[in-house]
Amino acid sequence: MAYNRKRSLELHVFLNEEENEIFEAKFRLSGKQNKSDFLRQLILEGFVYEIDFSDIQRNNFLLSNISNNINQIAHRINETRNIHQSDIDAIRKEIEKLWQLQKSTLSSILSVKQ
């Protein structure tokens, strides 16, 4: 049975046990569906990697919770009038600094990917 393939050339590679273990580990980390895609990307782009964004996602979640808590505090303070606006502004500035740090971290990770 003849297959109608876009790629007609086949590549054979010999590895020792250690090299094969490294290859298999990197293949699993790549998230690719098959080894051909993994090797093709490595050949064409020069690198294959998967970025773990779980820390950034967790930080975003925590920053969002902090922001929500500060907003709730600000609403209560506005109702009771027991704090100065400058205190609220200072809290908001600190939260903005945290968000800027988070954005900077994400930008630096994305620049590595390119």
HEC string of the chain equals CCCCCCCCCCCCCCCCHHHHHHHHHHHHHHCCCCHHHHHHHHHHHCCCCCCCCHHHHHHHHHHHHHHHHHHHHHHHHHHHCCCCHHHHHHHHHHHHHHHHHHHHHHHHHHHHHC
Query: Tens digits of per-residue pLDDT, 28-81?
Result: 888 888 999 899 888 888 766 677 777 778 778 878 888 887 888 888 788 887
Query: Tens digits of per-residue pLDDT, 78-108?
Result: 888 777 777 778 778 878 888 887 787 777 7
The whole-model pTM stands at: 0.40
Quote the pLDDT of residue 18.
94
Quote the pLDDT of residue 114.
47
For residue 22, with 0-12 CB atoms within 10 Å meaning exposed, 13-18 middle and 19 or more buried, which class applies?
A: exposed
Rounded CA separation 40/91 (Å): 50
Domain spans, the chain: 12-50, 54-113
Quote the pLDDT of residue 112.
59
Which are the contacts of 52, defined by CB distance < 8 A and separation ≥ 6?
none
